[in-house]
Chains A and B, each alone.
Chain A
């Protein structure tokens, strides 16, 4: 049985020049603009989440390092 990914339909507005760039990039990759936007968003969210994780864990480890250095 195939895995069915549930999609949520949304409407986005792009400035004309950005839309043209997206269309051109999508065409060169042989994918739709929708697929290109999905790929870019996944990459962005992954990068952003990793940065959040790294900032948080660094902050917590810095606290412990400071405690050990000071006392």
Chain B
């Protein structure tokens, strides 16, 4: 029995919560393919803030609020942030200098995953394609 840990970023939550999102069907199919595996799902509070902000813009307050309600249920662990994650995020963002994964929140996700020893991310963002340490679930 090998338990996988998957980190979910905002693009996956947005794809699932917005049926007009171009990755909506793909997101559902991705989740269905995970059903027979042994997985612990994780995310971060920054991810939730990003997803709620974007869903408010795309679909309105009701949808954003519903995501918050869903996340109060069991099933997805919200990983705690700390100084090490913040320092690595800033350090890697500065080192990146606009190449590779240039978005700061992508660096935040990678720093969080690195801290918790997670190698898989459920995402529809292109920011992670160039990072060898991160394997994506979902695809674009």
Cβ A59 vs Cβ B70 within 8 A: yes
Interface pair B35/A67, CB less than 8 Å apart: no
B120 contacts partner chain A, Cβ-Cβ < 8 Å:
no
Interface size on B (CB < 8 Å)? 31
Q: Are A64 and B24 within 8 A (Cβ)?
A: yes
* Nearest CB in chain B: distance from A46 CB, A: 5
A59-B19 contact given A50-B38, A53-B37, A53-B39, CB 8 Å threshold: no
Residue contact A56 to B40, C-beta cutoff 8 Å? yes
Instruction: Check if A61 sits within 8 Å of B28, measured CB to CB.
Output: yes
A62 within 8 A of B: yes
The reply to whether B18 and A56 form a contact with Cβ atoms under 8 Å apart is no
In the docked arrangement, what's the CA distance between A42 and B13, Å?
Answer: 32
Does A35 count as interface, using CB distance less than 8 angstroms? no
Q: How far is the CA of A67 from the CA of B60 in the complex (A)?
A: 12
Chain B residues near A60 (CB-CB < 8 A): 8, 16, 31, 41, 75-76
- Interface residue A68 (Cβ < 8 Å from any Cβ of B): yes
Roughly how many angstroms separate A53 CA and B5 CA in the complex, as a whole number? 10
What's the Cα separation between A62 and B8 when bound, in Å? Answer: 15
Among A46, A61, A67, the residue within 8 A (CB) of B1 is: A46
Are A45 and B75 in contact, CB atoms less than 8 angstroms apart?
A: no
**Which of A49, A52, A63, A68 contacts B70 (CB under 8 A)?**
A63
Bound CA span A64–B66, Å? 11
Interface residues of A in 28-51 (CB under 8 A from B): 42, 45-46, 49-50
> Considering the chains assembled together, what is the distance between the CA atoms of A58 and B76 in angstroms?
10
Residues of A participating in the B interface, judged by any CB pair closer than 8 Å = 42, 45-46, 49-50, 52-53, 55-64, 66-68, 70-71
